[in-house]
Amino acid sequence: MKLTYTGKTKNVYALEDGNYLLQFKDDVTGENGVFDPGANTVGLTMEGAGRAGLKLTKFFFEKLQEKGIPTHYIAADIEKATMTVKPAQVFGEGLEVICRFRAVGSFLRRYGKYATDAQPLDAFVEVTLKDDDRQDPPISEDALDMLGILTKEEYQTLKSLTQQIAHVVKDELAVKGIELYDIKFEFGRVGEDKQIVLIDEISGGNMRAYKDGEYIEPLELEKMFL
Amino acid sequence: MKLTYTGKTKNVYALEDGNYLLQFKDDVTGENGVFDPGANTVGLTMEGAGRAGLKLTKFFFEKLQEKGIPTHYIAADIEKATMTVKPAQVFGEGLEVICRFRAVGSFLRRYGKYATDAQPLDAFVEVTLKDDDRQDPPISEDALDMLGILTKEEYQTLKSLTQQIAHVVKDELAVKGIELYDIKFEFGRVGEDKQIVLIDEISGGNMRAYKDGEYIEPLELEKMFL
């Protein structure tokens, strides 16, 4: 088992059978000790965050599997905080795909002239480049196509999958009286036919969830939800 | 004649017949005394800049008229540095539409991970909101539609007009051995049928033009071109 990538919130190991093992860490993104799913630095370390993130990820990835929505998920070991996944190739050097049900975070910072805080948004999808040096800039369908990162056809698949998956998460949270404001995903191409599938994780660290108008911290979300 | 708007590079007066008069000023956008068409502050004042901008604008707007591409242009008075235009309603509180033939400026600052300096781009179109407080953020077709600024149909018209007009400017400059790298336009709705037309100006202050790989300042461009 060989360490192939050290990420902000997880490490990636290559397995001998060609699959990969994701080791979930207790680090979460944010700034100055405050959690922010939109940040691209590690803001703080919370004991149990890795395992909590994996528990939610396992729940949602298995839920998506039941619904026939493709992911890279194979199995999870909660005790070890590891997840076994199929090999996937990311788009370019990595994209984040955000689905928004309410206007908060960077959306509001950019479009505050036309949107009010927490205004409902209709499963709005946008893509940002994973690029720490350039603060993860948003990028349009046309630019993704022109720069050879994603074809227009792939963009439509990505957008459709994003909305489907976001609605699955939103509906599951709603059962517990929790409201999903926004969520971010990563996708990759899997197999010889380069099928577009969800990769990485679905956890409190990737979403903003609220209960009765109050924001729920990632660790709290896992406790409330599972 | 009533002053209705004081802009960074021009003032707008309402005429009694319902049309408007644009007074071109000698101020150009930039920062710290350096011209930058992408900036949203007045960077410097150059004597003759208003008249030079109007001369180019008159030339291009009349060229577009010949080609049947709609603009708000009625007439220009070079001596007085004024242009008479039809009343137009901007989209939201104003958009800028950029067409790029080479990767420079904010495109390169955002997408430098995937593009190299001055790399050719295929008449790439992007829209930014006019919002000084938020540094004119780029905005996608989906977001423009969702926020009620522009319908998807209007977006396609805007994109198509932008590429047509940018090619007219590019071709005219090429006759003088000048290469257009990028250009920004403003559009508005005119008349009862809300036809989308080009408004504002086409001058050195709205584009980056190069000769033999060297950038041409706005005033210099007018001298070289006309």
Q: Which of A52, A68, A85 is the last residue of a domain?
A: A85
Q: Considering CB atoms only, which of A112, A122, A124 is closest to B134?
A: A112
Residues A29 and A99 both lie in one domain: no
Q: Indicate if the pLDDT at residue A40 is higher than 80.
A: no
Residues B164-222 pLDDT 10s: 999 999 999 999 999 999 999 999 999 999 999 999 999 998 999 999 999 999 889 99
Residues A61 and A112 both lie in one domain: no
Residues B146 and B195 both lie in one domain: yes
Q: Considering CB atoms only, which of A93, A121, A140 is closest to B126?
A: A140
The CATH number assigned to the domain holding B130 equals 3.30.470.20
> Hey, is the C-beta of B114 within 8 angstroms of any chain A C-beta?
yes
User: Span A88-106, mean pLDDT?
Assistant: 97
How far B146 CA sits from the closest chain A CA (Å)?
8
Q: Cβ separation of A147 and B114 shorter than 8 Å?
A: yes
pLDDT at position A155 = 98
User: Span A143-155, mean pLDDT?
Assistant: 97
> Hey, is the C-beta of A5 within 8 angstroms of any chain B C-beta?
no
> CA-CA distance, A157 to A122, in Å (whole number)?
18
pLDDT at position B8 = 86
Q: Which of B36, B52, B85 is the last residue of a domain?
A: B85
Contact A19, A85 (CB under 8 A): yes
Q: Which residue would you say has higher pLDDT here, A9 or A159?
A: A159
Residues B46 and B144 both lie in one domain: no
Instruction: Give exposure, A67-85, as e/b (b: 16+ Cβ within 10 Å).
Output: eeebbbbeebeeeebbbbb
Q: Indicate if the pLDDT at residue B7 is higher than 90.
A: no
Nearest to A141 by CA among A171, A193, A97: A97
B2: pLDDT confidence band, cut at 50, 70 and 90? very high
> Hey, is the C-beta of A47 within 8 angstroms of any chain B C-beta?
no
B43: pLDDT confidence band, cut at 50, 70 and 90? confident
B86: pLDDT confidence band, cut at 50, 70 and 90? very high
Contact B178, B101 (CB under 8 A): no
Residues B138-173 pLDDT 10s: 999 999 999 999 999 999 999 999 999 999 999 999
Q: Indicate if the pLDDT at residue B81 is higher than 80.
A: yes
Residues A137 and A172 both lie in one domain: yes
Q: Cβ separation of A134 and B122 shorter than 8 Å?
A: no
pLDDT at position B38 = 74
Give φ, ψ of B26 to 5 degrees.
-90, 10
Burial grade of A138 (CB within 10 A; 0-12, 13-18, 19 or more) = buried
B37: pLDDT confidence band, cut at 50, 70 and 90? confident
Residues B148 and B60 both lie in one domain: no
User: Span A79-92, mean pLDDT?
Assistant: 97
Nearest to B226 by CA among B123, B102, B78: B78
Q: Indicate if the pLDDT at residue A171 is higher than 90.
A: yes
A36: pLDDT confidence band, cut at 50, 70 and 90? confident
Residues B98 and B193 both lie in one domain: yes
Residues B72 and B102 both lie in one domain: no
Chain B residues with beta carbon closer than 8 angstroms to that of A163: none
User: Span A176-203, mean pLDDT?
Assistant: 97
pLDDT at position B34 = 82
Q: Which of B68, B85, B102 is the last residue of a domain?
A: B85
Expressed as residue numbers, the domain containing A48 is 2-85
pLDDT at position A182 = 98
Q: Indicate if the pLDDT at residue A38 is higher than 80.
A: no
Mean pLDDT over the full length of chain A: 95
Residues A112 and A131 both lie in one domain: yes
The CATH number assigned to the domain holding A50 equals 3.30.200.20
Tokens standing for B94? 């104003």
Around Cβ A102, how many Cβ atoms within 10 Å?
20
ipTM (interface predicted TM): 0.90
Residues B116 and B214 both lie in one domain: yes
Residues B107 and B210 both lie in one domain: yes
Q: How far is CA A54 from the centre of its chain?
A: 12
Residues B107 and B172 both lie in one domain: yes
User: Span B16-41, mean pLDDT?
Assistant: 87
> CA-CA distance, B89 to B188, in Å (whole number)?
5
CB contacts under 8 A, A 167-206 vs B, are none
How far B120 CA sits from the closest chain A CA (Å)?
11
Task: Determine which of B13-17, B35-39, B197-201 has the lowest per-residue pLDDT on average.
Answer: B35-39
How far B110 CA sits from the closest chain A CA (Å)?
6
Q: Indicate if the pLDDT at residue B40 is higher than 80.
A: no
User: Span A183-208, mean pLDDT?
Assistant: 96
Q: What total of structural domains would you count in chain A?
A: 2
pLDDT at position A41 = 82
